Structure formats: C-alpha cells, structure tokens
Structure 1
Amino acid sequence: MSTTRISREAFRAPLDHGLFLNGEIKAKDGHKDLPVLITAHGFRGFKEWGFWPYVTDALAELGFYTVIFDFSRIDAAAAKQPDAVIAQARTLSRELEDLQTIVELVREQRLPLSASADPGRIGLLGHSRGGAASVITAAEQTAIGAVVAWNPPSDLTPPAGVSAEPFIAADIEQNASRYDIPYKLAYLKQPALIVQGSADVERILLGHEALRLAAPGHSFVQIEGGDHSFGVQHPFTGPTPALVEALQATTRFFRQHLQPVEALRKEAQSHGHS
C-alpha cells in the first residue's frame, strides 16, 4: 500500500444563473510544479461515481495535480433550480463552458493547493460524453497539452428511436460543426489518446472506428472485454482488470506528454551519465 500523503481540498466555483461547480483537488503533499489533470465525468455520471475517486487518487499518487468536479447540471438539479435552468445545464454547450471555466481557474491559480500545480502543463481526461467534451476543449484551447478520452461517442446525435431532451437536441443541431468529434480529433494539434473497451455498445464501437479512420496520427488503445464503464458499477467495489489496463495506458500517455518534474530530472540525470 502506498505511503504517499495526498492533500485534498474541496472547492465551489460560482457561475451564472446561480449555478456552481463543486469539485476537489488532490495532490501530493510538499510537491510543486506538478502537471495538471482535469477529469470530466460522463453524462449520467458525477465526480464520486464509480471509478472516479479511485482513478483520481491514483493519478494524484503518481504525481499529478488532479482536478475532479461535477458539471453544473449536478448542482442545478441538487439546488432544485427552475426546469429551464436545469435543462440548459444539461447541454453540451454548458458542459464546455464548465470545462473552460475549470481550465481558466487552473491557469489563474485560483483553485486550492495551486502552489503544487504547473499551470503551463494541463491535460484532460474525460469519460463518455466527458471524453467528447475534452476533445472539443483541447481543439479550442491551446492551453491544453494532451487529452485522453475513455469510450467517447463520435456522434452526439441521439440514435434512431431515442428522443433527446429539447434543449439538448436543439444544442446539438445548432452546433453540428463544433460537435463533429472525428473532425476535431483529426485536426487536433495536441497529442490525444482514445481508450476504447471492446465490449462497449455497437454505436460507440462504430464511432471508435470512425475516429481511427479520421485521425490515424493519434493514439488508440483497445481494452479487450471492457464495456462502457470498464466493468465498474456504482457504488464502487474495487478496480476491474479492464479499468486497471485503461488507467495504465492513460498514465503512460500523460507521463510521456505531461511528464512530472521528478521524471524530467531523472531523465536529465540519466542522459548526463550516458
């Protein structure tokens, strides 16, 4: 068991319409200049759902300043905001605004434990629709250094026979080009990794192939036997082999593209002795 002490501090960031982003920072005690990882949960998830506490604890122990937060739709529902506010908060547009706000708070060092973070090295890790939002955000924000998406959809249009909420459907229709995930990924300048479970639903698997065809220059990892949540349910009962494999692929990728300062020092020392 790890003896690393992890500091944890909650935050509550105000938004418009009386909404808030509720989150938590996790970082190694006594460390500075840690690369930042911002995590984004899926449409039906929340920051404490299933694997997220385990994943963010692991990332913090590995030397990342880790941000976990609830999208504002969680606060809107909990605060029993008017129906129109809740519906608007459930759109991808609002999700992207929320993610952008978190990025800005990191860059301006306005989140807790900011002395531990290197705001010049920011990575995004998103699951499902949070993965799609992470890809779009990376495409639109040069501040993002790398992005990993777990089981992201390539097409945000609801499948045939599934009715979308009016606000969500209108948002998707009005932002069709902005939400073109294969196009965004194809022209994304920052390094990206798509981690896909082989036992996910057919629609996501077909979308994964569309992403591979559109952006062959990026990295893709398939988790054999992994479903949409890598076999994890809520409440969490422990990591599955599929989750462990997805997390290992993710940490390798971020270590390569957002290396912790300690790793850079070791690399420099090894080169100095070669």
Structure 2
Amino acid sequence: MSTIRIRREAFRAPLDNGLFLNGEIKAIEGQKDLPVVVVAHGFRGFKEWGFWPHVTDVLAEQGFYTVVFDFSRIDAAATKQPEAVIAQARTLSRELEDLETILTLVREQRLPQSDSADPTRIGLLGHSRGGASSIITAAERADIGAVAAWNPPSDLTPPAGASAEPYIAADIEQNANRFDIPYKLAYLKRPALIVQGSADGERILLGHEALRLAAPGHTFVQVQGGDHTFGVQHPFAGQTPFLDEAISVTTGFLRHHLQPIEAVREEAL
C-alpha cells in the first residue's frame, strides 16, 4: 500500500482596491519543480464550491502545484463592502485583474510552498465564466502553457430581455473586442481544451458550437449527459460519472502539455 502526502496551505493576497484574494495551495509534500495549475471558479461559485475541493485534490495528487482562490468579489461580499465596490468587483475586468495578480504571485514565487513550483510551466483551469477568463488570460499572456475550460460561455452579453447588473453590462460593452471569446480562442497559440456537458443550457451549447467553428484546431470534448456542473450540487455529495469524465480528460490534457514528474509515493508502514 502506498500514500501520497498532500500539503495544504492558505494564503491571503491584498489588492490595490483594499480587497483580498483568499486562496489555498495544494502540492505533494517534498516535491520540487511541479508544474502549476491555477483554478478559476465560476461567476456564482467560490473555491470551496461543490466539486472544487475534490478536483483540486486530484490535481495535486497528479503532480501539480495547485492554486485555488476566491475572486475578490467573494471578499467584497463577505466583508460587506459598499454596493458600488461589490458591483465593480463582479465585473469581468476585475476578474481578469484578479487572475493576473495570482499569476504574478506564481511567477515571482510569492505564494506558499513556492519552492515546490516550476513557474515556467503554468496551466489554467476554469469553469463557466472562469473558463472564459482563463481563455482570455491565456490568449493575452505568453507564459501560459495550456488552458482547460469547463462549460465556458462564448458570448458574455446578457440575453435579450434578461436583467443585467449595470457595472457588468457596461464593462462588457466597453470591452467587446477583448471579451470576444471565439476570437480569443481562435488566435490562442497555446493548446486549449474545452469540456462541455451535453445537457447544459441551450445558450451555452450554441456557444460551444461557435467555439468549435472558430477554433477547430483546439481540443473539444463533450460529456454526454453532463449539465453545467456535471451533476454536482453544493454541498458536495460525491462524485458523478460526468465529473469523473471531465476530470479524467482534463488531467490527461494537462499532464500531456505540462508534463509533471511522476509522484513519489511513500510506502505506508
């Protein structure tokens, strides 16, 4: 029998707007030069939502220095900031700034257990809007080795007739070119994986086809029967076949492109 020891350590990173990014590092204890995977939760999610603790445990066990964090909108709501601060923190532009901050901390080795990480090998994994942010970030940076997105939208514009928060709507309108997900994916020079549940909402499924048409050179996998969260709710009640498939294809993709060393297993006494 063998075991892998995963060391977990929290961090709290201050931002220029007075908010914080609260996160956690998970990595195999005693290992060096592990490739990095930064995990971005969805718009209505958070780092402890549903499947994320399980997914990030698997990533760490697979030999990745795993970074999971809450976007600053979570801190804004938790600390009861003024409504304008919370609204601004919920924009995609702020989300992208948060992700850039995490990547800067990775590159400068200012996160916990930094001696375990190889900051020259970085991958991104995002779900829903976090998947869109991961695609945009990967397209705008030269230091991202691979990106995986689970059920990402292709169009961030609110549907006709839907209510939209003014700050979010204005941010999308002002950054229409930057937030063009099919365009960003089409011109992304690094390998990308899009994992899509076949039972997701109609708008996301239509967007998935738009992404396939725009960027046929990337990898697209459809999880038959999987919905937007692969059958998982919060609190987490256990794995589903849909989640298992999404994890399996994603870890295989990231291992291929980031090439983690094989985990050293300790023999249990």
TM-score relative to the length of structure 2: 0.96
Per-residue CA shift, 1:32-59, capped at 9, x if unaligned?
0000000000000000000000000000
Q: In structure 2, what is the equivalent of residue 271 of structure 1?
A: none
Per-residue CA shift, 1:47-94, capped at 9, x if unaligned?
000000000000000100000000000000101111111100000000
Q: Which runs of 5+ in 2 are unaligned?
A: 264-269
Q: In structure 2, what is the equivalent of residue 207 of structure 1?
A: 207
Q: In structure 1, what is the equivalent of residue 218 of structure 2?
A: 218
In the TM superposition, what are the counterparts of 1:67-216 in structure 2 within 5 Å? Answer: 67-216=67-216
Q: In structure 1, what is the equivalent of residue 49 of structure 2?
A: 49
Query: What is the deviation of 1:2?
Result: 6.8
Q: In the alignment, residue 36 of structure 2 is paired with which amino acid?
A: V
Q: In the alignment, residue 193 of structure 2 is paired with which amino acid?
A: L
Change (3 A) 1:2 1:57: farther
Query: What is the deviation of 1:200?
Result: 0.2
Q: In the alignment, residue 23 of structure 1 is paired with which amino acid?
A: G
Distance in 2 separating the partners of 1:115 and 1:212? 38
| SS in structure 2 at match of 1:262 | coil
Distance in 1 separating the partners of 2:167 and 2:16? 18
Q: In structure 1, what is the equivalent of residue 64 of structure 2?
A: 64
Alignment length (residue pairs): 263
Q: In structure 1, what is the equivalent of residue 8 of structure 2?
A: 8
Q: In structure 2, what is the equivalent of residue 35 of structure 1?
A: 35
Distance in 2 separating the partners of 1:2 and 1:63? 15
Change (3 A) 1:79 1:2: farther
Distance in 1 separating the partners of 2:32 and 2:169? 43
Distance in 2 separating the partners of 1:92 and 1:150? 17
Q: In structure 2, what is the equivalent of residue 256 of structure 1?
A: 256
| SS in structure 2 at match of 1:139 | helix
RMSD: 1.0
Per-residue CA shift, 1:225-264, capped at 9, x if unaligned?
000000000000111000000000000100110001338x
Q: In structure 1, what is the equivalent of residue 267 of structure 2?
A: none
Distance in 2 separating the partners of 1:24 and 1:36? 13
| SS in structure 2 at match of 1:17 | coil
Per-residue CA shift, 1:160-200, capped at 9, x if unaligned?
12111000000000000000000000000000000000000
How many percent identity over aligned positions?
A: 82
Give 1 or 2: higher helix fraction. 1
Distance in 1 separating the partners of 2:261 and 2:121? 11
| SS in structure 1 at match of 2:47 | coil
Per-residue CA shift, 1:199-229, capped at 9, x if unaligned?
0000000000000000000000000000000
Per-residue CA shift, 1:115-162, capped at 9, x if unaligned?
000000000000000000000000011111100000000000011121
| SS in structure 2 at match of 1:256 | helix
- After the TM superposition, which parts of structure 1 deviate over 4 Å for at least 4 consecutive aligned residues? none
* Higher RCO (Cα < 8 Å, 6 or more apart): 2
Distance in 2 separating the partners of 1:95 and 1:208? 22
Q: Which runs of 5+ in 1 are unaligned?
A: 264-274
Query: What is the deviation of 1:3?
Result: 1.9
| SS in structure 2 at match of 1:118 | strand
